[in-house]
Amino acid sequence: MLMPVPDASLLARRREIIDDLRALLPDECVIADPIALRAYECDALTLYRQLPMAVALPRTTAEVAAVLAYCHREGVKIVPRGGGTSLSGGSLPVADAITVGLSKMNKVLEVDFDNRCARVQPGVTNLGITNAVQHAGFYFAPDPSSQIACSIGGNVAENSGGVHCLKYGLTTNNLLGIEFVTIDGTVMRFGGKHLDSDGLDLLGIVTGSEGLLGLVTEVTVRILRKPTTQRALLLSFPTVESAGTCVGAIIAAGIIPAGMEMMDKPAIHAAEAFVKVGYPLDVEALLIVELDGPPVEVDHLVARVSEIAAGCGAVGNRASTSEVERMGFWAGRKSAFPAVGRIAPDYICMDGTIPRKRLPEVLRAMDGMAKHYGLGLANVFHAGDGNLHPLILFDANKPGDVEKAEAFGADILRLCVDVGGVLTGEHGVGVEKRDLMTHQFDQVDLDQQMRVKCAFDEGGLLNPGKVFPALTNCAEYGKMHVSGGNLPFPDIPRF
């Protein structure tokens, strides 16, 4: 379908904005060429694509503040972008907005071992923080599967987790302070090296706000001592229900593993074919349970978890005896997403959270949904805290498959809410779950959230069209639906 040709006034306005950005930033920090912009047309939620008006790549907090102050003054919309690994469309471009990427702000500014913290710029990767401190026996606990590429600024925006978030918490539990730029260019600091702050918890409000309130330009994180001992158990089960039951039984016994991950049969086979780490192929589900701490405690917990697993019907139990073996157990789980990409032309990764005790019934229900829609399903998820990541397998070139995948995903998320859970655990709402927000929140809840948004960004310039099911404009609301692999916003000009 041909897009309408923009009129001369819109093109002139675009050129004017690009010229103004080049007056604020070096030429190499402003991208306007249509071919170069293709690198920014989507994030990891690749169902939807849209070229931004332009991309600005500031290098300092002062440059970020200058760009935001200009956009505030001129009424130009902004989509913040970190590593582009968002799985909910959180950094998806909008046609009449500039994308502000923070990838050039990628320096570790300070490591303070005495106070067990590090101060970094937002473009530093999640794994980059651990790499900067591991020589002294420290690490950064949150570890998303995309940790080699995702940025700490994006982790703050989405409140990301990872396989070790069960014991050590999400980003918010490992965050001490941020430097933050508001839409009018004001630079603020929330928190710092100290363990707690008085007054309003603005740090908590900004964490997980998905770029709707401002841009994070510096992050102070907590770093931890590496545990003296880490061992992992690879537990095999004849059914996904028995594996789900085991998850609840371990937690009910008062044991909090460092991580507890689950994979079903399709995911096991895909991961084993991809990394060849010796996963059993004749079982329906695997649990990877990691235990850490002093050696005597870990040995005791390994025996206790093995006992619980046997009582839940486990048909296989391997305990790691070396660091190489432990990392091998995790290699398949960490590579599950690219591995699944080899068994289907396309997939989308959903993200919802449920009470642990509802795992068996939810897994059964999702299997029924897969049969109903005639699509493949592979489950890889943070079982310990009930954060599901079902991977819906489809073929975008097959008529109707995209629509079925979207409907399947929406049904999964509604199910999560219906059993007492929430729409997202760590991927955020973005555009993917935006129109499902009314299934979890009533209008009073949404109005309260909107008031916070309007207090920071009254003009609705920051990350428009994300999170809220209605147009995020503090003066008026209008429905904007996302579907069919593009952003058909009739009110937004196409440049």
Ordered DSSP codes for 146-185: TTTT-BHHHHHHHT---TTHHHH--GGGGEEEEEEE-TTS
From CA 469, how far away is CA 196, in angstroms rounded? 34
Over residues 386-414, the mean pLDDT reads: 95
8-24 and 61-74 helices cross at what angle (nearest 10)? 150
pLDDT at 448 over 90: yes
| Distance between first and last Cα of the chain | 16
For position 11, what pLDDT does the model report? 84
List the domains of the chain with CATH numbers: 108-225 (3.30.465.10), 235-273+283-335 (3.30.70.3450), 338-434 (3.30.70.2740)
Confidence grade of residue 357 (pLDDT, cut at 50, 70, 90): confident
How many percent of the chain have pLDDT more than 70? 93
What average pLDDT score do residues 393-418 get?
95
CA 60 – CA 9 distance, rounded (Å): 32
Residue 428 pLDDT: 93
Q: Would you tell me how many other CB atoms lie within 10 Å of the CB of residue 455?
A: 11
Main-chain dihedrals φ then ψ at residue 287, nearest 5 degrees: -115, 135
Binning pLDDT at 50, 70 and 90, where does residue 480 land? very low
pLDDT above 70 (res 384): yes
pTM assigned to the model: 0.90
Using one digit for the tens of pLDDT, what is the confidence trace for 129-180? 999 999 999 999 999 988 999 999 999 999 999 889 999 999 999 999 999 9
Torsion of CA 450, 456, 458, 463, to 10 degrees: -80
Residue-wise pLDDT for 256-287, tens only, equals 999 999 999 999 999 999 999 999 999 999 99
Residue 185 burial by CB count (10 A; 0-12/13-18/19+): exposed, middle or buried?
middle
Q: What rounded mean pLDDT belongs to the chain? A: 91
Please state, in angstroms and rounded to a whole number, the distance separating the CA atoms of residues 77 and 82. 17
pLDDT bracket for residue 482 (50, 70, 90) = very low
pLDDT of residue 484: 40
Confidence of residue 473 (pLDDT cuts 50, 70, 90): low
pLDDT of residue 6: 58
Residue type, 403: E
Tokens of 257: 């593993």
Residue 7, pLDDT score: 64
CA distance 103 to 82: 6
Is residue 471's pLDDT more than 80?
no
pLDDT at 3 over 90: no
Q: How confident is the model at residue 371 (pLDDT cuts 50, 70, 90)?
A: very high
Nearest to 360 by CA among 326, 332, 388, 337: 388
Residue 491 has pLDDT above 50, yes or no: no
| Range of 42-51, 172-181, 341-350, 423-432 with top mean pLDDT | 172-181
Confidence class for position 483, pLDDT limits 50, 70, 90 = very low
Q: Is the pLDDT of residue 392 over 80?
A: yes
- Alpha-carbon distance of 448 to 202, in angstroms, equals 16
pLDDT of res. 474: 64
Give the pLDDT score at 83: 94
Mean pLDDT within 396-423: 96
